Amino acid sequence: MQWRRFKRPRLLREDQIQSLIEFARDERVKTSIASLMDMTEEGDNAMTDPAVWLATQGVEVPEGFSAVITKDISISKPVDPASLGIPGPHWIPYDLRFTSCRTYVVATKDGEGKTTGYHTETVCLGIEVVGSRQLGPL
């Protein structure tokens, strides 16, 4: 097995966080992105070069960041579920997680009832169903 070294993600400075919040709350961003739902050709241009397209809409991407515009299934218009498919062959729509688990030490006994050792047993009293997030650009 070969180990890969990953770079630690850099933390954002407070001013960067504020500029991203302002960008996300900008009414021009919201209306521009919403307009893409009705214009397929405009949407193709926006996905090709999002920064240029946003600039034509009067919106500037905060310095040090890039914009990515993709088609997503989370739209307000009805979509035929059969046309969606799944994101990949190993994707599952939900995870089952065991909750309220307790681990106990139990004595192992032989045929005569003598303790020969100990082992652990885990008992879970609950199950939680958690939806899996669809993978996409981060």
pLDDT, tens digit (0-9, with 9 covering 90-100), for 35-73: 777 777 777 778 788 888 888 888 888 887 877 777 655
138 pLDDT more than 50: no
Handedness of CA 77, 81, 85, 86 (dihedral sign): positive
pLDDT band at residue 3 using 50, 70 and 90 as cut-offs: low
Alpha-carbon distance of 46 to 36, in angstroms, equals 8
3-class SS of residue 97: strand
pLDDT at 47 (0 to 100): 79
Report the mean per-residue pLDDT for the chain: 76
Is 77's pLDDT higher than 80? no
H-helix or E-strand spanning residue 37: none
pLDDT at residue number 137: 47
Measured CA to CA, the distance from residue 59 to residue 19 in angstroms comes to 13
